[in-house]
Structure formats: C-alpha cells, structure tokens
Structure 1
Amino acid sequence: MKQSVLHPLALSVWLGISAVAQATPVSLDLPAQPLASSLQQLEAQSGLRIQFQAEGVANHQAPAIKGDMEPTEALQTLLAGTGLDFELRDGTATVSQAASSSATDERVNLGTMDVISTGLTGVARTEGTGSYTTGVVNSSTKLPMSLRETPQSVSVITSQRIEDQGLGNLNEIVQNTTGLTIQQSGPERQRYYARGFQVDNIMYDGLPISLSRYSQDVITAPDSAMLDRVEVVRGSTGLMQGSGNPSAAINLIRKRPTYEPYVSIGASAGSWDRYRTEVDASNALNEAGTLRGRIVTAYEDNGTYRDYGSTEHGFAYGIVEADLTDRTLFTIGASYQNDNKDADWGGTPTAFDGSDLGLSRSAYLGNDWAYWNTNTRHLFAELEHRFDNDWRLRLAGNKMWGRINMLGSYFFYDRAGSLNQGAGEYTYTDNYNSYDGNLSGPFQLFGRTHELVVGASMRNEIFDGHGGWGTTATNIDPYEWDSGAVPEPSYDMNLWNLKFQSEEKGVYAATRLSITDPLKVILGGRLDWYDYDDANEANSYKVTRNVTRYAGVIYDLNDTYSVYASYTDIFKPQNSPDASGGIIAPMTGTNYEIGLKAAYFDGRLNASAALFRMLQENRAKLLDSSFCPNPSVACYEAAGEVESKGIDLEVAGLLAEGWEGSVGYTYVEAKYRKDSTASNEGKLFDPDQPRHLLKVSTVYHLPGELQQWRVGGTINAQNSTFNETATYRIEQDAYAVVGLMLGYRVNEHVDTRVNLNNVFDEEYYSSLNSNTSIGYGDPRNLMFSVNWTL
C-alpha cells in the first residue's frame, strides 16, 4: 500500500549511545529479499534507527548479508545499485534518492529521530533476532541495563528458544530455565521454585501478581504465544515487587505490534492425540503507521499418556499501540485463556511407607467425572512519554479476573495404612489489580551522567472461595481400580468458605551512579504498606512502612568482564495465627550475591558466575493442636530460620556462527538454621528440591548447501531427591531427560520442525508431594510442527 508520510519500521532495540551503535560491528543474518524487509530487519538486529518512505524503496531487492558488520556498512551494502543513499544525523539514518541520480530529483527529507537508550516500550525485544539472549533487561531495578550491568543472576528465555523447543506455556518454560524447578500438587496445580524457595510472584510487563496459596490453583500456566520473552531474576527482588520469597521474579514480556504486515500461522500434532494451532497477525492500522495492532490466538485439543484424560485449551491476545505524539505512546490490550480439563485433583499414591507401587505411568486412579476448568482474563494499559531531556514517564496497569470450577478426588491413608479416596467440589473467584507509575532518566552530578527512577505502585487481590467435600471410597486396591465405579458426588458448596482482600502500596527509588568509567553503584529503597482483610477478623492484619533496601556494585575489569556484588532485604507477610490468636510477624531476611559477568560478540553471548547466600527468619511453623486455643483450628509459631546458599552459572547466546545455545548449572543448599524442633536444625529445608540442576538447550544451523537444516537438543538433569516424614520416605534417583530437535526451512515462508522429547524414555517422579500424591514425568513423545509466515 502506498504511503505518503514516514513512519518508523520497527520498535527500537536498546543501545547505549548512537555513536557506539553506528561503529560497533553486530552479527547480522539477512536473506535476499525485498529491500523494505531488509531495512526493517537491519533496524531490529542492529538497533540503528532507519527512516524512509515505503514508495521510495518499492520494487528494490536487497542482497543477503550474513556475519559481523557495522550497521552503517550493512546499510550501504543494502542500498548499493538502487539509486538510494542515506544521511546520518543525530543517530538516525534517513534513506532517500541519491542526489546524483537525477538533476531534477528532489531529496526527500524524512526528518530525524534520536537513538535512545530504551525504546518506547523500555525493553529490547527478542522476536525476529534468532538469538538466545537479549540486549537489555529491567526486571531487577526498573533501570534498563544489559545483562552484564545487572548485579544479579538473570536468565532470558527468548522468542527463538520458545519456538525451537516448542514451549507452549509457562510450565514448560520454567522446566527449561536455569535454576528453576516445578512441582505439581496433583496434575493441575503447579508450583515454581528457585534457590530453595517457592516463587510467589509473577510479573506481566513488570507488574507483579502474587501467587497466593489459592490463586495458584486459579491461574493456570499462561500460554507462550503472546510472549516475546521471559526474564527471570533469581534471588530477592523486593525493589521490583515488594513482598515475596527470595526465590525469583518471573517477568512475562508480551509481544508488541509491528509496523509492517506480519502473519504467522502454525500447526502442531504429536503423541497421544495432541494438536495445537496458532495464528499471529500484526500491522499498522492507519496509513501513517501511528496506530498499530496485533492479534494472537491459540487452540489445543490434547490427549494424555494416562489411561484417561484430555484438555481443551483456548487462548486469545490482542494489543493496540497508538503514537499520540512523536514522544507519547499509549498501549492497551487484553488476553483470555480458557482451560477445560478432564483431570483429577490428586496425583498417584505410593505405598504407605513411600515405596513405589509398581504401577504403570499411564495408570489413572481418578474418576471419569472429574474436571478442572479455569479461565483467566487480563486487561492492561500503558502510557509512556519521553521528555526532551531524555526523561521518561511510564504509567501502567494490569487487571486480572480468574475463575476455577473443579470436582475431583484425592487419596489418603488412615492410621491402619488403608488407602481411601476423598473428593471435593470447589469454585474460586480471584480478582487482581496491579498498577505502577514511575519517572526515570539521566541527571548530571560532579561532571558525570547518572540515572534515577522514582515511582509508586499498588496491587490488591480479592478472593472468594466456596466448596464441599466427603469420602467416596475406602480400602482401595490400586491394582484393581475402576475409574467409572464411583458415582459422581454432590456437595453442599458452603461447607467451606474463604473470603479475603489483600492490598500492598509502595513507593520506591533507585539510582545508578557512575562513580568512574568502570565503576557503577546502584542504590535503591522501597517503602511498603500491607493490609490483609479476612472475613474472619481475627486473621486480619497490617504491616506499616516496611523498608526494603537494595545495593549493587559493578566494576568493569575490561570491555568484556565485570565483577559485581549486591544486597537486598527480604519481606514476606504471613497470615498464620499464633497460639494467642494474633498473626505471625512477617518473614524477613537478607540476600547477598557476588559474581562475575561477561559479554562476548558485542553482547550476543552473555555469561555469568555467582555465589549467593540468603537468610529468611520468622518462618511460621505449625504447632501441635494441643497448644492451640481451638484444637480444630491450626495455629503456628515464628520459629524458623532458613539459610540458602549456592552457585549459579550460565552461558547463553551466540556460541559460534550459526550456533545458539544456553547452558546453566545451579547448586543450592537450603537448610534450617533454627527451628523449634531442634532435630531439624542442619537438615535440608525442602529435600524434594534438587541441589544440583543442569539445563542445556542449543540449536545449530547447518552451513553451505545444508543451510535450510538446523539441529538442536536439550538436557535437563538433577541429583537425587526425597520427601520424608515420620511415616514414609519417597526417593527419586538422579536422572537426566534428553530432547532432540530437527528443523527444515522449506522456503522463505514455510518452516517445519520435529521435537523428540525424553529420547531415552526416562521414568522419573516429577514431584514428590506425599505418599498419596506423586507425579510422573512425560514418557517419550514426538511433536511435529509447521509454520507459515508472510
């Protein structure tokens, strides 16, 4: 379509300053294609801002470019022989008709746009780069920094890696992320862990949503089709999200609209009658390109390796961006996810003493009337304005409505060791709001340029749950189980009720001080007010003016290596009553980390090594019912102190020409330092979490005549784990799960891929919850995918 006015072709990628961007070689991979497409991809891969008129480059073809090249040199190569030239001014390359091509031609001045340290969205997208790393993250302090400049351990699961491994949702992403593990309390109740503690916050574009005990049942794993990448900061991230465990912050960065037409249609089919389709379409919505939109949909109809069960999954995501002015961007979007699952509540039992029953992994010991249905809706908006002095104002909000309706059964052993089945029917509504506003930018002090961000945030959760339960079967023989034998029960939905509302308000500030050229110091603080209002007034409480401190130091040894140290406070409220009827004080603690970081190939390969130590105090510990004023109501004491320490290693990005990869290893030792039960002191805090964890993912594009082919693979390995109580011990030996991938690009539009997962059909427990609920990892399975892109 012919356009009469200019527009930028893509979102700007983070760069430090324009001079460095123009002079530093970057790794490029541009196929022979129309010139407009090459200019767009050059901008995305190099960060150089390029302006041109669409009609001015029409009917021109561009040659292929592959390898390291300075952005302006690459631009000259693309324009060679076209009669076009460019003018570089204030960091922007303006493409126009060459002055010497015609004496009568008028040179079209398309104006200029500054290269800025962050794009309008404040992030560096990974979509279309083919990379396993990214140029900038701000999930640690809200200050945009490269991975090397961030004084904490950070992993990024990029768009390319999600595609290569066929990661369809957040559960699968977590399973393949350095230092993270997933435990499932039953088939559909996921829990994420890092550094010995449960992850209790997930962020959407930097806005946190708490994963409370009940909301984790409502919020099923988000679909990956809407994600540009996932940033994971391990350790305490109180400056970003306020209260929470010192585990990790998982930040889901959504895809943004494109300026040029983009359409992608994908389909997958695999073992156990699993089918998935995706549609992703984006374009400018007006001729000027100041209004842009994107729609992403996905649908799954999946069987299972178990004897019974299926899942129907639907997902839709829409987003619109509007350039209100040259410096003001407004974004609004929404998503909807619906999961209808024929899945039971509990997992597979072991024997009473924790030994394996020898059942097949496919054995289903639930009932054919069980269901677990959830839907989650998000509405989000963002207003961002860039001032003339490079300061930026960002106002953002995210609203979530979550619903679950379920009916399912679970197993329990009585004191005599007989296996019995109970069932429950529950419905939850969980509504969540999260808002943030901040102002950030550079300032001058003592002749040097520094950065500052100040802001305020608020989030609240409103939960309302109802349910009923009962016993459905006794003295069960698991080897003779019939899933159709128990009639569907019906319960009084008011046997159990829970209503609460929590609210957290905070103000924060952080500054990045440039002490010398190689030395940077980051200082930050946060002040929080927390209010928990329970329908039972005895369980309501407040925390006023809690202070969270943050400090980081980064020293550049040279152009490649940096050393760093960081400190963060820990703050997590608890709603556990004590023996006097009050509420246990919040958990507090400290998080220390020191490390070495490196950036190779101009940031296309990032590496890090870290040592960390965390202390968490005042952990609520369940008391014997004889100590409680009402024996039928649980009570607790603040008796626990846990220390977690270990090593964190990761290399991710361009390993060699055509070879992307990620290798991550973590060692975590989390133990009780203090406990009211003296025998617990010195023991592992959560022994069913692995201490040694290795995650490997790689893809290699074959050279020469085989360049249409690519091969890849994954390895997820861990040490032995166990879960032990006074009555049972469940053990899982060390294991490794290997995956392989083979891809073939048919032409510039069609790409195919085959993923073979669990190649050696490793049989293992994926979770060790109790002797009545364990989970198995998926057996060997195959998935074939084909994708057509405009």
Structure 2
Amino acid sequence: MHRPHHHRLPARLPLIALCLGLAAPAWAQTGSPLASPLPLSISAQPLDKALTELAAKTGLLIGVDSSLLAGKQGPALDGSYTPATALDKLLEGSGLEAVSQGGNEYTLRRLPVRQGETTLAPVAVTAGIERSATSEGTGSYAARGTTLFKGTQSLKEIPQSVTVITRQRMDDQGLDTLEDVLANATGVTLRRRVGGGNDIIIRGFETSTIQYDGMPLPRTYTNGNMLLASSVHLDRVEVLRGAQGLLEGAGSPAGAVNLVRKRGTAERRLMVEGRAGSWDNYGARIDAGGPLNEAGTLRARAVLDYEDKNAYVDKVWDRNLSAYAALDFDATPDTTLGLGLAHTRFRGNSSIYNGLPRHADGSMPDVSRRANMDADWSESTREETQLFVDFEHRFNPDWKLKASGIYIDETYDGATALSYFRLIPVGGNAMTAPGFAYDFGGRSKGLDINLSGAFQALGIAHEIVVGGSYSNQERDDAFDEYTNTTIDIFDSKADITPLGARALNRMRDLSSKTTQRGLYGLWRGHLTERATLILGGRTSWYDYRSAIVNPVNGVIVTRSREKESGEFTPYGGLVYALTPQWSAYASYAEIFEPQSVTDAGLKVLPPMTGVNYELGIKGELFDGALNTSLAVFRVDQENRAITDYESPMLCGGWYCSRAAGKVRSQGVELEAHGTLARGWQLSGGYTYSRNKYLKDADESLVGKPFNYETPRHMLRLWSDYQLAGELGKWRIGAGVNYRSKQETDSATMKNPVQGGYAVWNARVAYRIDKTWSAALNVENLFDKRYYSNISANYLHSYVGEPRNVLLTVRGSF
C-alpha cells in the first residue's frame, strides 16, 4: 500500500518498523551521543518487547521482520551500555544481527549461514487483528496509529482531531476507570448525573455512543452508567472530536470514543500488582497472557482486578470486581478469530452519591468537604457483561475482510434519598428529600462487516472501505419514588428515614428500543505524492420507541416514536503532506442526530442537523515518537433539545423539552503526545472554545452560551521523566488539569458559580530490580478546594477530591 513520506525504513511486507523511535529525541539526529554509555535496566523478557523498551530508552530506530522475533527471548541488561552495544547484547544467541543504516537506524537480519550450518525454519507471522496500532508494551505516550476509521491509520492521515490515551499513560497516572481516562483527555468534559453516571461532552455537545474495537453501540443511560467501569482490560482509548456521522450514522457533533481491548499475546507474560492508598483504598490486579500452543497460533489473555475502598466523603464506599478473558486464534496464516469476555460488578454507593446542595442565590452552605446529605443506607449494585467476537481474513497484503459482533447485558439496582429539585433558602438549613429505588436493565448488541483494500487506477493509488453495521439497544428502567423527608444540612450524620417507613408516592416503568442500521463507504485517493482526498458517506435507518407505564394499573403515561429512513450524511477531507513530518488538513461533515425527548405536547422533537468544519496541522516528529496537532473548528447545529421550563412537568415527572434555534461552537485545540527528549515524555492538550445561540424563538438567548458547563479554557497535561546516570532507576511525573470559570444564565444566582481552578498531580516511581517496581501517586498535590462538577441546574455540586496518595507495587515476569 502506497504511503508517501510516511517511513524512512523499508515498508515492504512483512517487514515492519518494530520500534520507530519510540523515544527518538532531538539529540538522536546528531549521531554523537549514540557512542555515550547510558544506564540501562531491562529485564529478561520476549525479544520483541525488550527491543521496544531499548528503543524507548535510547532513541534507536529498529526495523525488523516480525517473523524473526517469534518465540525468541532477550537477556537482562543492567549496567552502562552504548545504544549499539546494548542492541548487540539483546541479540546474543538469537541468530540475528543488527545492520547499521546510518545515524540511529538499524535493521535486523538473520546471521549469515556458515558452511555446515542449516537455516532456521521460517516462523509464521501472528500479528493478530489490528495489532499494529497497539500501545501495550511500547512504553510510550505516542500512539502508532488509530483504528477509528475501520483500519489502522496514523493520526497524521485523519483530517480531524484525535487523542489516544495509551496503556502506558493509564498505568502511570492510575487511570483505572473509563471516567478517569476521559477526565484526562483533551477537550472532554464529564457531566455528573444526579443519581449516578456521567454524560460525555465534547465541544459543547453530548455523545451517547461508544465504540468497541471500532464498532459503535448506542448507550443510552440513566443511572450508574458504564463510564464507571474498569479500564484495566483496555489497550488504549481513542477519542475523535467533531462530527462522527460517517462512523456511527445518527451521531452528535461531539465526536466518538473508541475502546480498544487487550488481545491474546504472542509471548508469555505475567504482571501482578498491589495497591494501597488514602481512605482505606486497597486493590490487587493480575494480568497474564501468552500462547497456548507451540506454534503460537492460539493466544490468550486474562485480567482480574479487585478494589475495596472508602472515600473522602462520609458514608461512601465501594467493592468492585473486574474480570476479562480473551482468545485469538490464527485459523490459517491469513485468518484470525477473536473472542473476548469482560465482566464488572460494582457494589457500593459512590455512583449514587448526590453531592451538596446550594443556596437559592448559588452560594454554598458552610459545610465540610466530607459532608454527605445522602442516607447512610444508600447503596447500589451495577453489573455488566460484555461478549466480543471478531473475524478477519487477509486476502493479500492489500485487501482484508473484517466482521465484529458485540453483546452487552447490564443491570443496575439502587436505593437512596435525594435532595432533589430543591435549593436551600439563603440562610436556611433544611431541605426535603424524596426516596428512590431503582431497577434498571439493558441489553445491547451490534454487528459490523467491512471490506477494505488498496489498488492502483488512473495513475493514482486508491484505498477504500465499504461496509454495513447494525445495532440495537433495549432497556427496561423502573423506579419507585417515596414521600419526602426533611434533612438538616448541618447534621449530615443524622438518620434519614428509610424507604420502608415512607409512603409510596409513584411508580414508573420506562421501556425503550433503539435500532440503527447503516451502509457506509470511504475512499482515499492519493492524488499526488503529497495530496490525499478523502470522501465518504453513510446512509442510515433509525428507529426509536419508548413508553412510560404506571406498573400499578398498566396505564401508559407517555409514548413516543421517532423513525428516520435513508438519511445520508456526507463526509469530506483533504490531507496535504507539507514535509515527511508535517501535514495540513481540512474536513467537512454533516450532522444528523434523531432525538428521543418530547415537547409539552408529548411529540418527539425533530432530529438535530448541522455541519462541522475543521482546519488543522499535524506532526509526527522524531520518526513518530512525538505526535502534535493544532486545529480550529466550527460546529453549527439546529433543533438542539433544551429544557422547557415554561412547560408543565409532564415528561417523566419533569419539565419537557423544546427545539432550540441555531447554535454554534467554535474554538482552537493544541496537543502533543510522546517523547520530547531522552527519558522525557509528555501527554496533554489545551482547548479554547466558545459556544452561543445564533438564533432562537426566545430572542433573549441570542448571543448567550447554550452550554455553560463547557469551559472557555481547558488544559489537560501529564509529563514523565526518567532520571539519568546513577539515578536511572527513578522516574518522576507531574501534571495539571485546569479549567476556567463556570457561569450560569440564572438571574438569581451569583456569577461565576465557580472561578477557574487548577489541580496538580505528581508521581514518583522506582525500579527495585529487574522484576519489581514501586510508584507513589499524589493527586491534588496542593490540596486545592474546588467542585469537580456542578450540575446544569445548579441543584447539586460535587466536591473535588482532597489531596490523596496511592502506592502501587508491580511485578512483571
């Protein structure tokens, strides 16, 4: 497949760039420091992993045929070596030798056959499905590629903003839930829901669709949603910002979140981990993988994680279990089957914790950060089981067929008392709280089949992807509401009347079914050595049905239906290679997103429509060791659902919605991920955005923000540095999350509701020996007092975590 300007090393299959300078710093271009000894500590491990680690620590560029490394082990290194000497040491006894290509580049080949010796038998390549973009084992914050667009592309080839949170960054920062990962991703804001769960907001818009290994599923949630689930089974998380209709059909202009799971490994590996931290936080993890047969065609992976923890807030606790297993089987050298099973069980009440109330003027009552107005008997249990299956057949190096399927079953049960719908009078100390019991359940399934390939025609190189997808989600969400009780906000430890001692106020049962089908196509034409034109589109069919039923008498309280057929969403982009390292791009996409909410007449609102524009420049520096990007964007959208506070509470016991006029979100994003210098890695991004109403039936809204939760300025930054010389066993890390002030359009509340704030985090890690390492993470290093989330109606504010520590001891075998 033709890739102009992308690689300096040979690209002939099956030759691959094993370690394209995973830490290739600026000094590597001079050549002279390669002769200087460096302190290196590399444990005995599979040779491909050892070479990856060597490249990350020295800046070497190592090209190798992947089949030459299968089944080979690398010896341990612990001492001072020049990069070239260290490479030779790792290759001792492997039957391979390193051949210099000049500067810091090497290729590996078999040792020449001497007279009387025989050549080794060829070893089959067992790369597996989409493994070329894996972040595991690279030790890098820079992604080698992304699989968002039905195949592996470098970030520089995609004409939209993409952030990849790699496995290394997740491990270093302790991002153990998807919520943690997204809270540290460029341009992403999480909205905490009263009663549990989070909404994902990007560029001022929500997205409720999640991709699993590139396959989209609508995930409409109420309480306790999947963002609380563990991330321990993920290889990486890919976040695309901007319209994603080509990928998901009926989609929002926010973007797409793709969860890429770990796979069975070609080498044997075992990792064990123990954790202990603030507020009685204890946890343990085991991660094992390897081939199950001598040929390495059957590979397995298993991950088990358990945590038992309390919280900085009174009466909050969790007991969480996550388990994952995967098998990958090479039925033939060109056909791979994959199976995966993930199960999580979260029991506790952190997801159901409802934060602190505010006074009617927006000010906060003078209570401790530990105060919790919820009942001490509040508790919830969330369970989710995910089943994955995929198939890939490679007809030749240019063409492949892939099919993926997923099934998810989830349940959520909980009971609590909420300080709901109430603001405390200024100077007051009492609020009322109804009780709630939840019984939610959902089943989601999806299927995606696509064919991708490359060919030459009319004097240019073409790449195409054609396919179809199907998804379905059925939910049955019931709740019982009990009568109010009175709570004294200054006596948060007082007993709150349990549900059994209250009268039942109302019962509701919401059932819904969402079905999407789509056909899509994408064409990439390499018009010149520098210019690539990308055109695509998707035709979608959407069907949503829901009904709210009173379970006592079976009377349907509300029924709604939204159906769209043959809706086409086009996509276009242009990527121009300025140099081998830099590319400029432009993209255009249309927006089509059906809605399920209803107006005061109980009619479903019309679909949201609009357009998304983006211009940018991307760089892959130091031979891919550092990814950088700068983007400017504009999103125009119409018919966006907003709460209609003038309507009666006819929609599920709350205000109904109405369609807004035209809104706009625009801004600038800047980010960098990867290696800046030897031993120094960085991952982060800055976002400047503004959103406003362009027109609306309520003229008083024109010019005002339509989303006050999205900050104008947002910075997410993390950096890690390995000390040099005799201190080479030490690593230090530091980072900051900053957001500017949050305001409100309320005439009665103070502005801003909260000023801008920065939360600093730090880490110190030490390699004890070749097997064991220890790390101490400190969150909120300077003990900043802030609210991590303030609900849109300002009824609830969630206190940010005070300073806390977590000690992690990890062993790799």
TM-score normalised by length of structure 1: 0.90
Aligned to 1:137: 146
Separation in 1, partners of 2:81, 2:503: 65
**How many Å apart are 1:481 and its aligned residue?**
3.5
2:155 to 133, 139, 147: 147
Q: What SS class does the counterpart of residue 232 from structure 2 fall into?
A: helix
Contact conserved, 1:27 with 1:67, CA < 8 A, in 2? no
String of CA shifts for 1:738-789, please: whole Å, max 9, x gaps. Answer: 0111000011110110011101111111111144311011000011100011
Distance 1:631 1:147 in 2: 43
Matched residues in 2 for 1:58 and 1:668: separation?
50
Q: 2:553 aligns to what?
A: none
Partner of 1:125: 134
Q: Does 1:232 align with 2:239?
A: yes
Which residue identity does 2:433 align to in structure 1?
Q
Deviation of 1:577 after TM superposition, in Å, equals 3.0
Q: Deviations over 1:108-128 (max 9, x none)?
A: 2316759xxx96326511111
Q: Is the 8 A contact 1:649 1:664 kept in 2?
A: yes
Correspondence for 1:478 among 470, 473, 489: 489
1:505 and 1:66 map into 2 onto residues whose CA distance is 57
**One-letter amino acid of the counterpart of residue 434, structure 1:** G
Alignment pair present for 1:365 and 2:373? yes
Q: 1:62 to 1:498 in 2, by over 3 A?
A: same
Distance 1:550 1:675 in 2: 28
The one-character-per-residue Cα deviations of 1:118-139 (angstroms, maximum 9, x if unpaired) are: 9632651111111111111131
C-alpha separation between the residues in 1 aligned to 2:10 and 2:380?
48
Matched, 1:42 2:65: no
Name the CA shift for 1:429/1:155 in 2 (closer, same or farther; >3 Å).
same
- Distance in 2 between residues matched to 1:266 and 1:372, nearest whole Å: 27
Cα distance between partner residues in 1 of 2:262 and 2:195: 29
Q: Does 1:270 align with 2:303?
A: no
Q: CA deviation digits over 1:621-673, x for unaligned, max 9? A: 44466699999885544333210000000011011011111231001111111
In structure 2, distance between residues paired with 1:457 and 1:690:
35
Superposed counterparts of 1:681-720, under 5 Å: 681-720=702-741
Paired AA for residue 275 in structure 2: S
User: Are the structure 2 counterparts of residues 422 and 68 from structure 1 closer, same or farther at C-alpha, using a change threshold of 3 Å?
Assistant: farther
CA contact (8 A) 1:264 1:787 kept: yes
Mapping for residues 691-770 of structure 1, pairs under 5 Å: 691-729=712-750, 731-769=753-791, 770=793
How far apart, CA to CA, are the structure 2 residues paired with 1:544 and 1:703? 62
What's 1:159 paired with? 167
SS of 1:163 mapped into structure 2: helix
More displaced stretch, 619-628 vs 329-338: 619-628
Query: Would you say the 8 A contact 1:573–1:587 is kept in 2?
Result: yes
Distance apart, 1:603 and its partner CA: 0.8
Q: Is the 8 A contact 1:439 1:454 kept in 2?
A: yes
Could you say what secondary structure the match of 1:442 adopts?
strand
Compute the displacement of 1:41 (Å). 3.6
Q: Which residue in the other structure is 1:543 paired with? A: 564
Equivalent residue letter for 2:137: G
Say if 2:410 is the partner of 1:397: no
Q: CA deviation at 1:293?
A: 0.5
- Is residue 611 of structure 1 aligned with residue 632 of structure 2? yes
Cα distance, 1:85 vs structure 2: 5.6
> How many residues are paired up?
763
CA 735–33 in structure 1, closer or farther in 2 if over 3 Å, else same: closer
Q: 1:650 to 1:631 in 2, by over 3 A?
A: closer
Shift in CA distance, 78/64, structure 1 to aligned 2, threshold 3 Å: farther
Write the distance in 2 (CA, Å) between the matches of 1:211 and 1:346.
Answer: 22
- 1:17 has 2:11 as partner: yes
- Residues 560-584 of structure 1: CA distance to partner in whole angstroms, max 9, x if unpaired? 2111000111111112334555422
Distance 1:547 1:276 in 2: 48
Partner of residue 452, structure 1? 464
When residues 513 and 264 of structure 1 are mapped into structure 2, their CA distance, relative to the original with a 3 A threshold, is same
**Counterpart of 1:331?**
338
- 8 Å contact kept, 2:23–2:677: no
Q: Distance in 2 between matches of 1:731 and 1:541?
A: 37
**Structure 2: how far apart are the matches of 1:67 and 1:692?**
44
Alignment of 1:587-606 (within 5 A): 587-606=608-627
- The separation in 2 between residues aligned to 1:555 and 1:701, in whole angstroms, is 36
Bigger drift between 578-587 and 671-680 goes to 578-587
Which residue matches 1:4? none
Q: Is the contact between residue 33 and residue 64 of structure 1 (CA under 8 Å) also seen in structure 2?
A: no
- Please, which of 596, 605, 624 is the counterpart of residue 575 of structure 1? 596
Paired residues of 2:291 and 2:299 also in contact (CA < 8 A): yes
Opposite residue 650 of structure 1, the aligned amino acid is E
Check conservation: 1:269, 1:785, Cα contact below 8 A.
Answer: yes
> What residue is the counterpart of 2:803 in the other structure?
780
Following superposition, the deviation at residue 445 of structure 1 comes to 1.4
Is the contact made by 1:28 and 1:67 (CA closer than 8 Å) also made in structure 2? Answer: no
Task: Give the whole-Å Cα distance in 2 for the aligned partners of 1:67 and 1:601.
Answer: 20
Q: CA deviation at 1:176?
A: 1.1
Partner of 2:384: 376
Task: Letter of the 2:417 partner, please give it.
Answer: S
Contact 2:197/2:226, CA 8 A, preserved across alignment: no
- Answer yes or no: is the 8 Å Cα contact 1:191–1:198 preserved in 2: yes
Whether 2:218 is the aligned partner of 1:202: answer no
Residue of structure 2 aligned with 1:173, choices 169, 181, 194 = 181
1:723 positional shift? 3.1
Q: Gaps spanning 5+ residues in structure 2: where?
A: 1-6, 25-38, 56-61, 101-105, 548-555
Distance change (3 Å), C-alpha of 1:738 and 1:104: same
Amino acid at match of 1:17: A
Q: What 5-or-longer segments of structure 1 have no aligned partner?
A: 1-12
Cα distance change of structure 1 residues 31 and 281 upon mapping to structure 2, 3 Å threshold = farther
* Secondary structure of 1:408's aligned partner: strand
Q: For residues 577-600 of structure 1, what are the alpha-carbon distances to aligned partners after superposition, in whole Å with 9 as ceiling and x for unaligned?
A: 345554221001111000111111
Match of 1:282 in 2: 289
Partner of 1:305: 312
**One-letter identity of the residue aligned with 2:258:** N
Contact 2:451 2:465 in 1 (8 A): yes
CA separation of 1:713 and 1:629: change in aligned 2, threshold 3 A: closer
Once superposed, what is the RMSD of the aligned Cα atoms?
Answer: 3.2
Aligned to 2:661, the other structure's residue is in SS state: strand
How far the C-alpha of 1:31 sits from its partner, in A, is 5.8
TM-score scaled by length of structure 2 = 0.87
Q: Distance in 2 between matches of 1:627 and 1:414?
A: 17
